[in-house]
Homo-oligomer: A and B are copies of this chain.
Amino acid sequence: MQDKVIEMSDGLTVPFALAAGLSGAVSTSGIIVTAGVAEIIAESIAMGLGGYLFGTAEVNHYNSERKREYFEVDEFPEKEKQEVKDVFKDYGLSEHLREEIANELSKDKDKWVEFMIRFELDLTKPNPNRPRKSALTIASSYIIGGVISMAPYFFIEDSETGLKYSAVFTLIALFVFGIFKSKVTGIPILTGAFKVTLIGAAVAIAAYFIAKWMAE
Contact = CB atoms under 8 A, between A and B. Distances in A.
Interface of A: 6, 9-10, 13-14, 16-18, 20-22, 25-26, 30-31, 33-35, 37-39, 41-43, 45-47, 49-50, 53-54, 57-58, 60-61, 90-94, 97, 100-101, 104-105, 107-108, 111, 114-115, 119, 122, 124, 185-187, 192, 195, 199-200, 202-204, 206-207, 210-211, 214-215
Nearest to A107: B92
| Interface-centre pick from A34, A57, A97, A204 (highest chain B CB count, 10 A) | A34
- The quantity of this chain's copies bound in the complex is 2
A148 to B, nearest CB: 15
A23 to B, nearest CB: 10
A60 B34 CA distance: 41
A211 B34 contact: yes
Contacts of A10: 46-47, 50
